[in-house]
Structure 1
Amino acid sequence: MSHPRRTFLASGAAALAASGTRLRAGGAWAQATMQGKRFVRQASPENLEQDFGGLADFITPTDEHYVRSHFAVPPVDAASWTLSVKGAVGQPYTLTLAQLRALPKVSRVVTLECAGNGRSFLVPAVGGVQWERGAVSTAEWTGVRLADLLARAGVATDATRVVFDGLDRGEVKNTPLPAGPINFNRSLSLAETKARDVIVAYAINGTPLPAAHGAPARLIVPGCYGMASVKWLSSIEVIKGEFGSYWETTDYAYWDRSSGRPLRRPLLGMQVKSLIARPSAAGKVVRGSTTDVVGAAWSDGNVTRVEVSTDGGATWRDAEFMDPESAYTWRRWRFRWQVPATAGQAVLMSRATDAQGRTQPMTRNNDWGTYVIHHVVPVPVTIA
């Protein structure tokens, strides 16, 4: 007869391997230099990760919100900055920051996640910023609806997409290399701009944008990975046809096999995902205690269910939500775990399901490349 404890441990180890996940040396989340309350994942350009293990508030304080930079922060003078709306429009125009702020404003609470969040856990190891769990945050963004800005310009009836250019500029290292420095940019279809209620934001959590978050103004695209929310926005250009920049074909792109042949597509909507904040990997829990397993879940639609496993995926039970349903924000969740009375090891897991019926996968899909790390990440803990 098989021994239950040995069977359990074997299933936990298998889950770690099968998921395509690795842990840092010693089995714990890596230690890193801190800048205030954030981990420094890269000093130049600045890439900062929030302490996801300390997850507490629904809204992430601005000084704890993750920061993603492709190049150095561009020197921008707010007094002379302008935003141009141009291209396939009837009336192109330019706005100063004061003029943008004078327009009717809206506020949106939105969760943003870097598409590479969790990259440090991939097996085999891949290049790029070595994010762990905290390249995801939730904030209230205030600005002007993109739809209002486009309506003022008068979009051509045969227009198809909108291109957003940022002022951040530099040389990239990925191959094939562009010929010299390039600016960051992304595009959205006109249909996507309407469906997602995109805004041009000039404030975060009630205060003007800091430089690291794209001041004076940036795009906010609810439900999409962070690269879509272009920072240091300088122009909005309506175009006819497709857009094939480096940032949508070489970088921030994936292989789509739905047509029967692999086609390169730009990344966009966030995939359903949950993460355990506490206990942390290689942490200890008290045997026989009641311990809260705490985390958050999100997607590009409402997350409707989170399940937790304390036995390496053999069984699953529902967690309780701490936040109401919301299309474009995370939902924090909690699971009351009755820790076994005997000392040993346990492998914790969480998986989310959203309103579209999508459930977080157990294993990695390599067609995402170095992005979209949304498979279940096992969290081994010690019962002592």
Structure 2
Amino acid sequence: MTTDERDYDHLRMRQWLDGAARADGISRRGMLRLLTAAGVIGAVGAGGTGTAHAGPTVPGIVKPLPDEHFIVRGTNAESRWSGLRGTGFHTPNELFFVRNHTTTPELDAESWRLRVWGSGLRGDGAEFSLCDLKSLPSTTHTAFVECAGNGRSFYATQQGQTASGTAWTLGAVGVARWRGVRLAHVLRRAGLTRHAVDVQPRGLDAEATASDGTPMGHVRRPLPVAKALDDVLLVHEMNGRPLPPDHGAPVRVLVPSWVGIASVKWVGDIEVSAEPLYSPWNTDLYRLFGPGYPEGGSAPLTRQTLKSAFELPWDAPFAAGRTHHLTGRSWSGAGTIRSVEVSTDGGRRWHHARLHDVPRRDSWVRWSLPWTPRAAGAATLLARATDSTGTRQPDTTPFNEQGYLFNGVVRHPVLVTA
């Protein structure tokens, strides 16, 4: 049983080449890119930005999306950071961002069933109702969920490098108090064997289609069995309430600190396989492609990166000669936040912000800093965090074609008025 992601990826591709792995729905081109990335074969030739608009509701998303709280981007809705100030540590359900690959299904909780099946189980597997899951020992865990493309737009606006995909700023993240059962408990109830290598949850939302029209099937993404048995939850509550439809009702997967695609919503079945598994969401998508990466791309993305955001609108006004309290939040997928520094002069000088929360894994910290601007005119605010691994946010992020894992210091413009 391997836990190192790169070793795991290399092993899976070697097994595929030997005919011992399945890759349902993966194109030959996509698999060749994988094999090149792993060094299994030599390099081979490999033959939309969302538009924001306002509105109270959007087709395909159930909850209202008032303009003061959201920026709608196609089938997705980004939270406005200015709307989070004063809301407390946990993101209110009604303000939590929405990431959909198709549309939100409204499923009946009474008739919903979770099927756990596959060659990594004894017998025929098992089926669980929502009541069955609620009867198992419960776990509550506070954690962020964040889209892998959060911050994607800054590749273009700050680095002059345009990436494909939804042009998120920093609002594709939220922290909630999740309640559910450990996936490990469910897998063992279903008859997990030592032969299992991959665990693949699958969603019940509509089947997705690639940008070129290729059918991709239901959203699904395999996890190494070691990860599935570690800290992964099947959750049915969000901030003390039943999961809302847009956030995975009646049950979703929660993979703390990993990229959001791993936390599959509206889960309907989980395949437990004694063979390695691939899906489009860990092959052609959710890898790093581009200059500086292998021709076949990086290993599949796992942990999120390090970010900071001000709880301010873009171009927020500040009166000169008055003291203002700048507030924001910082988070990391690799560890806890150790410190946050803020610059109010475009990066020439830095000041330590006050942290308002005890740093915890899988979550963020709120921070503040007083600022008394002296002269009217345009100003640029910056915030950078350092986490417990010693990593500090850099000025720039190495580019990748799909715009994942941006972690550079964001330049936040404001206007000082006389």
Q: Distance in 2 between matches of 1:263 and 1:107?
A: 36
- The Cα shift of 1:344 comes to 3.0
Aligned partners of 1:186 and 1:247 also within 8 Å = yes
- Is this contact kept in 1: 2:72–2:78, CA < 8 A? yes
Cα drift, residue 204 of structure 1: 0.9
Structure 2 match to 1:7: none
2:395 corresponding residue in structure 1:
362
- Answer yes or no: is 1:119 the counterpart of 2:152: yes
For residues 332 and 162 of structure 2, the distance between their equivalents in structure 1, rounded to whole angstroms, comes to: 25
TM-score normalised by structure 2 residue count: 0.77
Residues 119-147 of structure 1: per-residue CA shift (max 9 Å, x gap): 33331444422322221111111111111
Aligned to 1:9: none
- Higher percent of residues as strand: 1
Helix, strand or coil at the partner of 1:149: helix
Q: Distance in 2 between matches of 1:194 and 1:272?
A: 25
Instruction: Determine helix, strand or coil for the equivalent of 2:94.
Output: helix
- In the TM superposition, residue 157 of structure 1 has moved relative to its aligned partner by 1.6
Deviates more, 1:362-371 or 1:200-209: 362-371
- Summarize the alignment of residues 200-211 of structure 1 with structure 2, pairs less than 5 Å apart: 200-211=234-245
- 8 Å CA contact retained: 1:107, 1:140: yes
2: CA distance, partners of 1:246 / 1:346: 43
Q: Distance in 2 between matches of 1:275 and 1:235?
A: 36
SS for the counterpart of 2:227 is helix
Q: Which residue, out of 407, 413, 418, partners 1:374?
A: 407
Q: In structure 2, what is the equivalent of residue 50 of structure 1?
A: 79
Residue-by-residue CA offset, 1:146-182 (whole Å, 9 max, x unaligned): 111122233222322211111122342335x53x351
Whether the aligned pair in 2 keeps the contact of 1:256 and 1:264 (CA below 8 Å) is no
Q: Deviations over 1:347-377 (max 9, x none)?
A: 1101111111111121121136322222111
Partner residue, 2:227: 192
SS in 2 for 1:185: coil
* TM-score, length-scaled by structure 1: 0.84
Distance 2:247 2:295 in 1: 38
Q: CA deviation at 1:241?
A: 4.3
1:72 is displaced (CA, Å) by 1.6
Aligned residue identity for 2:325: D
Summarize deviations over 1:51-94 as a string: whole Å, max 9, x none: 21122211111111111110122352222211112220125111
Distance 1:361 1:277, change over 3 A: same
Deviation of the 1:183 alpha carbon: 0.4
Q: 1:257 to 1:355 in 2, by over 3 A?
A: farther
Q: 1:183 aligns with which of 196, 208, 218?
A: 218
Q: Does 1:337 align with 2:374?
A: no
Whether the 8 Å contact between 2:180 and 2:237 is mirrored in structure 1 is: yes
1:33 counterpart residue number: 55
Q: Which residue of 2 aligns with 1:132?
A: 169
Aligned with residue 135 of structure 2, among 98, 102, 116: 102
User: In the aligned structure 2, how far is the partner of 1:244 from the partner of 1:294?
Assistant: 42
Find the aligned partners of 2:286 and 2:142 in 1 and give their Cα distance.
Answer: 24
SS of residue paired to 1:366: coil
1:235 equivalenced with 2:272 (yes/no): no
Distance 1:376 1:263 in 2: 25
Residue 250 of structure 2 is matched in structure 1 by 216
Residue deviations 1:6-65, cap 9 Å, x none? xxxxxxxxxxxxxxxxxxxxxxxx77435246324235x3x2222211222111111111
Q: Does 1:324 align with 2:328?
A: no
1:89 is matched with which residue?
121
Deviations 1:327-360 (A, max 9, x none): 0111111111232x23233211011111111111
Query: Percent identity between the aligned chains?
Result: 36
Separation of aligned partners in 1, 2:176 and 2:234: 14
Which one-letter code corresponds to 2:142 in the other structure? V
Say which SS state the counterpart of residue 285 (structure 2) adopts. coil
Task: In structure 1, list runs of 5 or more residues that go unmatched.
Answer: 1-29
Counterpart AA for 2:174: S
Task: Provide the rounded CA distance (Å) in 2 between the counterparts of 1:217 and 1:94.
Answer: 14
| Contact map agreement 1:284 1:383 (CA 8 A) in 2 | yes
Q: How many angstroms does 1:255 deviate by?
A: 4.2
Cα root mean square deviation, aligned = 2.3
CA distance in structure 2 between the aligned counterparts of 1:89 and 1:108, rounded to whole angstroms: 27
**1:101/1:194 CA distance change after superposition, 3 Å:** same
How many residues align? The count is 348
Pair 1:161-2:198 in alignment? yes
Other-structure match for 2:416: 383
- 8 Å CA contact 1:257–1:263 kept in 2: the answer is no
Higher deviation after alignment, 238-247 or 62-71: 238-247
* Whole-angstrom CA distance in 1 between matches of 2:386 and 2:154: 22
Cα distance change of structure 1 residues 112 and 151 upon mapping to structure 2, 3 Å threshold? same
Partner of 1:60: 91
Q: Contact 2:149/2:168 (CA < 8 Å) preserved in 1? A: yes
Q: Relative to structure 1, is the Cα distance of residues 260 and 136 closer, same or farther in structure 2, using a 3 angstrom cutoff? A: closer
**Contact 2:210 / 2:216 at 8 angstroms: preserved in 1?**
no
SS in 2 for 1:60: coil
2:107 paired residue among 39, 64, 76:
76
Alpha-carbon offset, residue 185 of structure 1:
0.5
